[in-house]
Structure 1
């Protein structure tokens, strides 16, 4: 079973995203901050990690680079989740290890298309 790890400070977004991924047959984990996420990533390696672009007290792009520096058993696909289409920020995230980006708001169909896109380019 594929595993998705959602890192977002919003309870609502995490729950909504969890429902979508569970309906697609994923096992889902959540963290409300990069600090909590890094702690979890010491013991688990998800297939996909969704990282919110703005979280209080955190720099999401630096967080993506920290994930890439971890000695994980395999390389997870990191999706940078944004609320505005800011090409400069998206390029920075990609340069630091993101595999793609997802624009909020999203739904199940958009998630399915993004997963297919990432699998094709991986």
Structure 2
């Protein structure tokens, strides 16, 4: 079964994403910030990461850069899920190693489409 790490400081977003991803047959884990997510990835590398940008402690873009440096850190599919929708943020995310970029709010159809595009469904 595929695994997805949900990284968002909003408990509500994590809860909604978890429900959708579990319906898509993913096992899920959660982190409230980029540092928690990095710690998780150092012990258990997920197949995918659903990643928020703006978080305390370590933001999403810093987490992504650190993830890609880890052994096996090139493997997870990273989908940014954020309110940051300007072209500069999108380009920065893709340059740092994001595979896809979706806007909040999202729904099951959007997540399913993006995860299909990257070959996880």
TM-score between both structures, scaled by the size of structure 1: 0.91
**CA-to-aligned-CA distance 1:40-89 (integer Å, 9 cap, x gap):** 11111111101101112433212111000011276000111111421110
- SS of corresponding position for 2:46: coil
Q: Report the counterpart of residue 20 of structure 2 in structure 1.
A: 20
Task: Give secondary structure in 2 for the equivalent of 1:98.
Answer: coil
**4+ residue segments displaced more than 4 Å:** none
What does residue 105 of structure 1 align with? 105
Q: State how far apart, in whole Å, the 2-side matches of 1:7 and 1:73 are.
A: 16
CA distance in 2, matches of 1:85, 1:34: 20
CA contact (8 A) 2:79 2:101 kept: yes
What 5-or-longer segments of structure 2 have no aligned partner? none
Alignment of 1:54-93 (within 5 A): 54-72=54-72, 75-93=75-93
What corresponds to 1:53 in structure 2?
Answer: 53
> Given the two structures, how large is their TM-score scaled by the length of structure 2?
0.92
Q: What CA RMSD, in Å, does the superposition of the two structures yield over aligned residues?
A: 1.6
Match of 2:37 in 1: 37
Is the Cα contact below 8 Å between 1:45 and 1:74 reproduced in 2? no
Q: How many residues align?
A: 120
